[in-house]
Amino acid sequence: MKKTIQFRCLLGSHSLALATMLFTACSTNPTGSKPAADDAETFMTRAEKRYLAATIKDGRASWVQSNFITNDTESIAADAKENLIATIKELADESRQFNGLQLSPDVARKIKLLKLAVPLPAPSNPAEREELTRIAVNMESEYGKFEYCPEQPATDAAAAKPGQKSGAGEAKKKCLSLGDLETTMAESRDPEELKRAWLGWHKVSPQYRKDYGRFVELANKGANEMGFKDVGAMWRSNYDMEPDQFAAEMERLWLQVKPLYDSLHTYVRARLRQKYGDIVPANGPIPAHLLGNMWSQSWGNVYDIVKPATGAPTYDLTKILVAKKTDAKQMARYGEGFFTSLGFDPLPETFWQRSLFTKPQDRAVVCHASAWDIDNQKDVRLKMCIKINDEDFQTIHHELGHNYYQMAYAPQPPLYQNSANDGFHEAIGDAIALSVTPEYLKQIGLIAAAPPESADIGLLMKLALDKVAFLPFGYLVDQWRWKVFSSEIGPGDYNRAWWELREKYQNISPPTLRSEMDFDAGAKYHVAANVPYARYFLAHILQFQFHRSMCRDAGYKGPLNRCSIYGNKQVGEKLKKMLEIGQSRPWPEALKALTGEEKMDATAIIDYFAPLKTWLDEQNKAQPGEDGGSK
């Protein structure tokens, strides 16, 4: 994750005045002469220096704020973020003087990327900019520090505040963090307990629902000033195609994978109905609290309920890691080892000194896993409250993919220090994780022998519960926001529209009746923190496309799910060359450099799960009420 994803914004009066003066001075041509293409070159050299300085300052401040959540660190990080936003907006506005000129492709691309550098465009009005950044800081901070106190009255606002004293005569109550509630969602098989945990966490977001409406209004004003229809259109412009064309591309990819998702959904619903009875309908949506995840975005935690009766995996990676007394740093070492086996350099020593690997006991931190690039060179870091389990083993490979991507494109100019598109950034580590096969685990000594191919259905099922189950959620989060930003969904319909999309694409339902007093979209980190989400959907498509291509280059001929590129330095060299392109070229060129293809193609995920799809369809034939999964 590129550090500019983090948005915690606030602006002091002195920096506001300075930004206003700078904007006035810089946006005026001092000589009154018409600018020329050479002037654009000079401008861009200066602009990239200022942009780099602002991003480094923002990265350092945001890192401290994420690891030490206090009012002071929020304010410091917000000042740095506002400085970055103001700098980018000022430079983007100044670049308009070159509109209509015949610029070099390099300068023209950089000007476009400059306008798209921050997904939170702020208005030029100082008071509105300050208001927007205060709202952005507050939403993410409220999300990060929220704890649910289940034994306090549900209507008591104190239930939403960690550390709140109980009333007179009441015993001190234990409050539950998101991590605590996620553990319940993963491990409990009591539907009432699961419902309480789900409802408890979803109390986080009503407190900032009203603010979110104002946030949308102000951010859209900023996007308008930068020449975009709205924030959603601005986000969709970041893919080397027109916004509407990108939306159509997302739909095309979804329709390619929908039959696979529908088969999985139908099978899982039947098994959950066997477990929980009539609480799960024979037809239609699955209740959201029964799928093992707070947002029903991955279903791996219910594998024990839905696993095949035969051909199950012959190992449990979580139990193996725990039995070997693996600690958090060793988990990260496994991920590093995969990249070095491909010929990449080891992570710098500062990575091990400065990263956050475990949740501190003495303070609140944002535990959401993220990879950081502090200085746009080698000061890369991981921020993650690592748990010793299979899921985090995979997540670490994913996050280190970000770090290795960041180091690969570090020699590029500042505005090209990013992935070809943001789906590439998310996909690289996951493509590596697809090579975490039984044979690989055997090679690194975690298992004694690889299971036979007869175990593949179980292994594919476990992976599909995460990868395939995620696809509609990865698509709909930004569908909802695109509609909110375009005013197709108004503030009075936030929750209704959210659940309409979730039923349409995921075919799930809330565990109890919801209303417009709720704000369930805001209970997802990426909504509260304003992080675009389409990248995750694209990553789930691209990672399989990358994997299929790298396996072909490795000369592999067997089932795609059994291929591992571990140790193949020839493949690693080709991967490295693609990473080094950064964002200097349109993403189809980067895709072609690795895969030989210029178009994203979801058939790779179909190829990967082909044995499972055949098996699922056979199982579903015997089940009543096959309604086609998602609608």
Give the CB-side neighbour count of residue 542, counting CA atoms within 13 A: 27
CB atoms within 10 A of CB 509: 18
Contact 119, 235 (CB under 8 A): yes
Give the CB-side neighbour count of residue 314, counting CA atoms within 13 A: 17
- Rounded distance, CA 229 to CA 313, Å? 50
How many Å is the Cα radius of gyration of the chain? Answer: 24
Residue 399 designated active-site: yes
The length of the chain is 631
- Rounded distance, CA 575 to CA 433, Å? 14
DSSP codes joined into one string, 472-491: HHHHHHHHHHHHHHTTSS-G
Nearest to 47 by CA among 104, 100, 93, 105: 93
End-to-end alpha carbon distance in the chain: 32
152 by DSSP, 3-state: which? coil
> Could you say which of 90, 140, 142, 399 is catalytic?
399
- Rounded distance, CA 415 to CA 165, Å? 49
- Rounded distance, CA 158 to CA 153, Å? 9
- Dmax (CA) of the chain: 79
> Could you say which of 526, 580, 589, 626 is catalytic?
526
- Rounded distance, CA 81 to CA 55, Å? 8
CB under 8 Å to 150, separation ≥6 — which residues?
A: 159, 173, 176, 196, 200
Residue 439 designated active-site: no
Helices 456-485, 243-276: axis angle to 10 degrees equals 130
Q: How many helices (H) and strands (E) does the chain have?
A: 25, 4
- Rounded distance, CA 256 to CA 279, Å? 31
Tracing tokens 């949506």 back to the chain, one arrives at: 285
Q: Catalytic residue numbers?
A: 399, 526
